[in-house]
Amino acid sequence: MYNADGNPHFEFGKRFRNTIRMCPFDSTLMIGGFGNLSKGEMDLWSLDSLKEIGSGKAPCATRIEWSACGRYMLTCTLYERLKVDNGF
């Protein structure tokens, strides 16, 4: 994470990640690695305390979104990208 001047402010660890999703209702951030990158590993961070608050796995996930209430994450495997292991 960088400050307004473009200087490094905080590093969320040195892991292979390609997806970021911010919870629309609070300061929770999901950083994950999907596809061939990291086999669906997700890290949840609190932006208030800048600490990791949880982790999870969603192997083969092709779509990741927060639920309407902001309490859960929905991951699914969509047919157009992956022809097997479809589910949610």
Average pLDDT over every residue of 60-78: 86
- Higher-pLDDT residue of 85 and 2 is 2
Per-residue pLDDT for 88 more than 60? no
Supply the pTM of this predicted model: 0.79
Residue 32 burial by Cβ neighbours in a 10 Å radius (0-12, 13-18, 19+): buried
Residue 39 burial by Cβ neighbours in a 10 Å radius (0-12, 13-18, 19+): middle
The confidence score (pLDDT) of residue 36 equals 72
Average pLDDT over every residue of 36-46: 84
